[in-house]
Structures are given as C-alpha cells and as structure tokens.
Structure 1
Amino acid sequence: MTSVLHLSDPHFGTEQPAVVDALVGLVRACQPELVLLGGDITQRARSAQFAAARRFVDRLAVPTLVVPGNHDIPLFNIVARLLDPYGNYRRAFGPDREPVYSSDTLLAIGVDSTRPQRHKNGYVSSRQIERVARLLDGARPGQLRIVLMHHPLVAAVESDQVNLAGGRENAMRVWSQAGADLLLGGHIHLPYVAPLPARINQQGTWAVQAGTAVSQRIRGGVPNSVNIIDWAPERTRASVCRVQRWDYLVSANSFVPAAEHELALSRQAWRVAEPDPLGVALGYH
C-alpha cells in the first residue's frame, strides 16, 4: 500500500498554529510515502513566511514535493516581482519548481502553473504539457501517476471557471491520453473530486482538489482540509485508489476523516497481460 498526503494553500503568514501542529501530527501518524504541497505556500512571498513554511516541512520528516502558487510571487515588492520573482521560494525550497518523484508504485510530476506577469491567473504551456506527457509515457506499469500543480483544471462550481488554468483543455487531453491517473490542484480553497470532461477524458483520469491546509483564509465555511490518497496496485482488470478528505475539527484539535472517494483507474496499463474480452472497467464513486 502506497499513501500520499496532498495539501495546498497553507498561506504561511495567515497560518493557525494549532492547525499546523494537528497536521504535523496527522502526517506522523499516517507516515505517507510522499507529501505533495501544491502552492500558495505563503501569503505574500516574504522571507519570514517562507522560513516558517520550511520549518513546517522539516517537521514532517517525510519526502515532500513542492510547487509554487501565485501567492509565492511578490505582490507589493515590484522590483522583486520583476527581477527575481521566485527568489524567496528558491532560497526556501531550491531552484527546481517542477520536481519529479519516482518509486516502484508512484510517479509524481510537479508543474509550475504560475506566471509573474499574470498576477493570480495560471497557465500551462505547450512545452510543459509535452514534458509531462514524456514523463507519463515513461512510467512503469505499477506506478500511480500523479500530476501536481497549483491552479485547477476542472471547476466544481460555475463561479470558479475564471480560476482555471489557461491551456487546460490541451493539458487534460494530452495528459489523460498519456496515462495520468490524478491531476491535483488547489488555489480556490475548495476540496472536491471530479472526472475530467468526457470529451477529453481518454483514460479515466480524475481531478482532485485540496482545500486550504492551515490558513485562516477558509472559504464559505469549509474547514481546513487535506487529502490522503491510498493506492495498492491490483493485478486485475482495473485498479482502484482511494482519496480520503480529512478536515480539521476544532473540538478535537485534530484532522478527522470527512469524505471518501474510490476511483477506478481504467488504463490498459493496469490490466493483466491477457486481453480483457469484455473491455470493462470497474467504476466506483
């Protein structure tokens, strides 16, 4: 069994210490193979905020794959935004804004969807789409294939259409065709799980959104939350991964299970060598 913890939008500078401690406790309890941190690490990209985020990641003592969000680029420091927009990010988390993690059961690919000139709006370029597709094409059969970025590709409510990343139609089509299982995002502080649009969903790919992990900036009464993704490759017609949302419960001062989705991964790569005469994938949700 492989376990991955997906969090986004901690917005250090607006973090709640009790929630931070509770999240550290959750990570230590479940011991995931990997933590995925999907951007908006800080509130205003200040060095002290990045230092606090770095201390948090170090406390987890688990491999962590990090990508930036739009809040990780200076807003009011115009000189830094123009000349070195990722300077403080780089000093805290290194120069690679599109890291990759690979193990026998997991492939996680980071994508930097931020653009300093676009303020809060995100974009995925053709070059980025091709890079991710090449990595997916080279994945091993037993790997769960995850793409992590900050800006969402699929909206659950109409008002969030304006927050979707530019270039998303091509990205979803190409990455689904290349075998992506999960496309992870954040940015809008609203957790949900949704299939990609049917017109471009080539392989049963799912969009998984995280809420805000530890910030005071919760949305519409939705509490602080993270996702835990469990995956155990099965040598049957289809494999299934479980996405479980954990919400922070004030009365318990801890994260507790709040919702669960079982997602069928219907790509041919998960099937046994013999052809499936029915061509049927198991579906759960």
Structure 2
Amino acid sequence: MTRIVHLSDLHFGFHRAGLTDHLLERVNGAGADLVVVTGDVTHRGRRDQYDQAAAFLSRIQAPVMAVPGNHDVPLYNVLVRYLAPYAGYRRAMGPELTPTRQAGRVRVLALNSVDPCAVQRGVIREGEIGRLVGGLDPLSMNVVALHHPLEHLAEVDKELTRRAPEALARLERAGARIVLSGHLHVWATGAMLDQTAHPGVLQIQAGTALCGRPSDRQNEFAVLQIDGPLLTIERHVAPMDEPSFRPPEYEYFSHESGIWVAHQPAEKPIVPGATETAFSTA
C-alpha cells in the first residue's frame, strides 16, 4: 500500500495565509510516502513568492516532487520569461523539471507542460510522450504528474493543452494508469471518468490547495491510497468562509477489470473558477 499526497496550485503570493499551517498539519499527518505538487507553487514567479513556497515545502516531512505551472514563469518580465523562464523555479525548487520517483509499487513520472510562449495554454513537447512511455514500469502502478490536464470537462472554457489527446491515448496504451494535474482549480475525478474515451487512465484533477481567489469557493488537496488495483482518495476541503479543512470525504475506485470503475456517483465539479484568465487574480 502506498500513500501519495497530491497538492496543486498553491499560488504563494496570492494564498490564504491563515490556511497554510492547517494545510501543513494535514499533509504531515497523512502518513504519505510521497507528496506530488502539480504546479503553480507561486502566483507570479517572483523571488519572494518562491521563497515562501520553498519554506513551506521544506517543512513537509515526506519526500516531495514537483513540476512547474504556468504561473511559475514570470508573466510581466518578458525578457526573463523567454530567455530563462525556469531560473526562479530551479533556484527555489531544485534543478529537475521532470523528476521521476518510486514509492513502493507506485512509479510517478513528471511532465513539464508549461509553454513560456503562451500565458495559460500548456504544451506537450516533441519527444516527451516517448520519454514517459519509456519510463513506465510494468510492475508498478504508473502515475503521470503535470500541471495542465490532458482532458477537460465539457463546462471548462480554457484551451486544452497542445497534443493532449495524443498523449492521453498513447499513455493509456502504454500502461499509465493515473494522471495527476491541476491548473483549472476545479476538482474532477469521477466526472472525468464518466465522459472520457480513455477509462484505462483515471484523471485526478486537483482543486487549488491555497489560492485566495474568492471565485474558487474552496481550497482542497487529496491523499491517494493505492493498494494494487484499488484506489481510495481522501479529499480534504476548506471552504473559503471556513478557517480550516473539514473532515475528509472519500472516493473509491478500482482497476481490477482493466479499466477504472468508480464505486460512488460522480461528483458535481464547481466550475466557475476555470473561466478566469491568467491576467486576472489567478
């Protein structure tokens, strides 16, 4: 059995400061083998924001792996954005943009989906799908972690990542079983499973762990407990008008038949936050 904490969209610099210690307490109490952070650790990729993010992540007791998000490259410093987009990220978070980690029988492979030439929309670069496929372990539960989702709910109005459909199809065929992402600030698991043509991959799209944008309505993170083909998700939610996280909600999935099956009705995602632009508050 392996336990993974999935954090996304921390947005240090535009975060709920009063929730930070509550989040840290929950994460350190989760008994995680690995913490995976799927991007947007900062709000604008500034040095002071990276310092805050690094200080927070350094207090997590489990091993941490992270990938950058579109907010982790400078938005307004155009020269740095195009010439050295990941300089701040590497200084604070470490040199790896696409780490791979093994936690028990679970293998997590990172993908950098950030396109510095675009404000929001992600991209899957040439050769990256092949790299991921080559790194999959046939004896493990293979998890891919990136910032931008590989598929969107019908209600989401942002542009889908370039080459996402190809990546999703090839990863499913090759044996990837879970995709962790963020970006939209909209939690979706069972709802994605209901609409996808790729049920061999469970797409876990995280809400925002700390962003203070009121339209998101809540902050949240998840703990994945993986036991062979069985998956239990603990979803920890902190509504914007409440000071801390509520007791966890649980979702259950299984992959025993070769495709993912949900053992509860699909959630109803809160979608309004997905309509914001990168030039607005988040």
Q: What interval of TM-score do these two structures reach, taking the shorter chain for normalisation? A: 0.7 to 0.9
**Structure 2 CA distance, aligned partners of 1:215 and 1:156?**
21
**Structure 1 CA distance, aligned partners of 2:31 and 2:159?**
32
- Answer whether contact 2:2 2:103 (CA < 8 A) is retained: no
- Answer whether contact 1:38 1:150 (CA < 8 A) is retained: yes
Q: Which moved more, 1:101-110 or 1:20-29?
A: 101-110
What are the ranges of 5 or more consecutive residues in structure 2 without an aligned counterpart?
265-282
**Structure 2 CA distance, aligned partners of 1:180 and 1:267?**
15
Is residue 2:269 matched to residue 1:284? no
What are the ranges of 5 or more consecutive residues in structure 1 without an aligned counterpart?
234-238, 269-279
How far the C-alpha of 1:173 sits from its partner, in A, is: 0.6
Equivalent position to 2:141, from 141, 144, 147: 144
- Answer whether contact 2:2 2:104 (CA < 8 A) is retained: no
Q: Secondary structure at the match of 2:235?
A: strand
Kindly tell me: are residues 43 and 283 of structure 1, through their superposed partners in 2, closer, same or farther at Cα, counting changes over 3 Å? closer
How far the C-alpha of 1:252 sits from its partner, in A, is: 6.8
Residue 268 of structure 2 corresponds to which residue in structure 1? none
Equivalent position to 1:211, from 207, 212, 226: 207
- Answer whether contact 2:233 2:250 (CA < 8 A) is retained: yes
Residue 189 of structure 1 corresponds to which residue in structure 2? 185
- Amino acid of the residue matched to residue 160 of structure 2? L
- Answer whether contact 2:97 2:112 (CA < 8 A) is retained: yes
Q: Secondary structure at the match of 2:123?
A: coil
Kindly tell me: are residues 204 and 46 of structure 1, through their superposed partners in 2, closer, same or farther at Cα, counting changes over 3 Å? same
- Amino acid of the residue matched to residue 34 of structure 1? L
Kindly tell me: are residues 252 and 91 of structure 1, through their superposed partners in 2, closer, same or farther at Cα, counting changes over 3 Å? same
How far the C-alpha of 1:250 sits from its partner, in A, is: 6.6
How far the C-alpha of 1:220 sits from its partner, in A, is: 4.4
How far the C-alpha of 1:242 sits from its partner, in A, is: 1.3
Over the matched positions of the two proteins, sequence identity in percent amounts to 30
How far the C-alpha of 1:104 sits from its partner, in A, is: 2.8
**Structure 2 CA distance, aligned partners of 1:167 and 1:256?**
37
Kindly tell me: are residues 185 and 218 of structure 1, through their superposed partners in 2, closer, same or farther at Cα, counting changes over 3 Å? farther
**Structure with bigger gyration radius:** 1
- Answer whether contact 2:9 2:40 (CA < 8 A) is retained: yes
Kindly tell me: are residues 75 and 252 of structure 1, through their superposed partners in 2, closer, same or farther at Cα, counting changes over 3 Å? closer
1:56-109 Cα offsets, whole Å, 9 max, x none, are: 000112111100000101111112112211110010112210000013321011
Residue 244 of structure 1 corresponds to which residue in structure 2? 234
How far the C-alpha of 1:211 sits from its partner, in A, is: 0.7
Q: Secondary structure at the match of 2:32?
A: coil
Kindly tell me: are residues 91 and 219 of structure 1, through their superposed partners in 2, closer, same or farther at Cα, counting changes over 3 Å? same
- Amino acid of the residue matched to residue 36 of structure 2? L
- Amino acid of the residue matched to residue 245 of structure 2? F
Q: Secondary structure at the match of 2:127?
A: helix
Aligned-residue Cα RMSD (Å) equals: 2.1
Kindly tell me: are residues 125 and 56 of structure 1, through their superposed partners in 2, closer, same or farther at Cα, counting changes over 3 Å? same
- Answer whether contact 2:149 2:161 (CA < 8 A) is retained: yes
Residue 256 of structure 1 corresponds to which residue in structure 2? 246
Q: Secondary structure at the match of 2:6?
A: strand
- Answer whether contact 1:196 1:205 (CA < 8 A) is retained: no
Kindly tell me: are residues 218 and 226 of structure 1, through their superposed partners in 2, closer, same or farther at Cα, counting changes over 3 Å? farther
- Answer whether contact 1:195 1:204 (CA < 8 A) is retained: no
- Answer whether contact 2:185 2:216 (CA < 8 A) is retained: no
- Amino acid of the residue matched to residue 170 of structure 2? V
**Structure 1 CA distance, aligned partners of 2:227 and 2:86?**
37
**Structure 2 CA distance, aligned partners of 1:257 and 1:135?**
36
